[in-house]
Amino acid sequence: MKKIIAGNWKMNTTKAEAVALASDLAQKIANVSADAQMILCPPHAWLSLVGDTIANSAVALGGQDCHTAEKGAFTGNVSAPMLKDVGCQYVIVGHSERRQYCSETNELVKTKAEAALKNGLIPIICVGETEAERTSGQHEASVGKQLAESLPDDANIIVAYEPVWAIGTGKTATNDDVAAMHAFIRAQVSQQVKGGQSIPLLYGGSVKGANAKDILAIQDVNGVLVGGASLQADEFLSIAEAA
């Protein structure tokens, strides 16, 4: 299985920066690794431009979120059919920032993932415990509940484990913690989802060139979801190289 190297640009980049970054990556990825599937998830405003920039390259396009409905009076939202129409193959749903700042529940995340699947997109469904849950030993219970309630019963999904305390903080989980959580998640999705043995599991949270190789070598880590380090072409390419 190719390692998935997904970049979540969040609400960053100007139009010019987005095009420059995407074109740099699209040109250089060819020389990097055939074992890596690179996915870019730029802000929705730049999807069309970035899509044009990476057309005919090995880089794929993804959205950062989608609405549950196909269309309608939902000011400010983007639907799964729109993402498909603009050339996306993937969409992130349930990122912890959306769970936290937009009060997204597991049930809502599952409905979004179902909308993505129905429209031919692969949802990258994010789960992860908070720092308080980790220190009180509740991390498996928390992630287990998120998996149980956020995942549709469909093998065509990707799960991203992102401990909330490791996102954008420079703190990464130890390799042992990542290994333990990925084993836990693999066991649960194998029971819960038909074909769950082969669903790609990504790790996210302060991944960078310097730690990518060790993280990608862990059993059941099938790729990474990268925030900050995906905004610099060379740093992001060095993560792909580690694959």
Q: Is 182 a catalytic residue?
A: no
Residue 227 binds ligand PGA, judged by CB under 6 A = yes
- For the segment 39-68, give every residue that binds ligand PGA (CB under 6 A): none
What is the token pair recorded at 70? 């196909």
Least separation, in Å, of the C-beta of 205 and ligand PGA? 5
As a whole number of Å, the CA-based R_g of the chain is: 17
Which residue is it, tokens 């749903």?
93
**Pairwise CA distance, residues 13 & 131, whole Å:** 29
- For the segment 147-186, give every residue that binds ligand PGA (CB under 6 A): 162, 167-168
Q: Cβ-closest residue to ligand PGA?
A: 227
Give the per-residue contact string, 86-125, with ligand PGA (x = CB under 6 A; - = no).
Answer: ----------------------------------------
CB nearer to ligand PGA: pick between 34 and 102: 102
Among the listed residues 95, 133, 182, 241, the single catalytic one is 95
Q: Which of 62, 94, 204, 223 binds ligand PGA (CB under 6 A)?
A: 204
Q: Is 131 a catalytic residue?
A: no
Residue 209 binds ligand PGA, judged by CB under 6 A = no
Least separation, in Å, of the C-beta of 95 and ligand PGA? 6
Residue 228 binds ligand PGA, judged by CB under 6 A = yes
What is the token pair recorded at 214? 């060790």
Which residues make up the interface to ligand PGA (CB under 6 A)?
8, 162, 167-168, 204-207, 225-229
